[in-house]
Amino acid sequence: MTVLVTGGAGYIGSHMVHELRDHDRAVVVLDNLSTGFRDAIPDDVPFVNGDIGDRDLVSDIITRFNVTSIIHFAGSIVVPESVTDPLGYYLNNTVKSRTLMAVAVDMGVKNFIFSSTAAVYGMSEANPVFEDAPLQPISPYGTSKMMTELMLRDTSVAHDLQYVVLRYFNVAGADPKGRCGQSSPNATHLIKVANQVALGQREKLSIFGKDYPTEDGTCLRDYIHVTDLVKAHKLALDYLAAGGESQIMNCGYGKGYSVHEVVSMVRAVSDVSFVAEMAERRQGDPAALVAGAQKIKDILNWSPELADLETIVRHAFEWEKYLNDRK
| Contacting positions for ligand UD1 (CB under 6 A) | 77-79, 117-119, 139, 168, 170, 188-190, 193, 205-208, 219, 221, 259, 282, 285-286, 289
Q: What Cα–Cα distance (Å) separates residue 310 from each residue in 53, 220, 232? A: 39, 16, 21
Task: Give CA angle at 147 (289, 142), nearest 5°.
Answer: 30
CA distance 326 to 324: 5
Among residues 109, 90, 97, 107, which one has the least CA distance to residue 7? Answer: 97
Tell me how far, at minimum, the Cβ of 82 lies from ligand UD1, in Å. Answer: 9
Among residues 197, 223, 205, 77, which one has the least CA distance to residue 144? Answer: 77
- Give the pairing type, strands 2-6 and 257-258: unpaired
**70 versus 259: smaller Cβ distance to ligand UD1:** 259
| Cβ neighbours, 10 Å, residue 167 | 25
Give SS3 for 276.
Answer: strand
CA distance 159 to 186: 40
- 3-state SS string over 15-64? HHHHHHHHCCCCEEEEECCCCCCHHHCCCCCCEEECCCCCHHHHHHHHHH
**69 versus 116: smaller Cβ distance to ligand UD1:** 116
Catalogue the active-site residues: 141
- Give the pairing type, strands 27-31 and 288-289: unpaired
Residues 298/253, Cβ–Cβ less than 8 Å: no
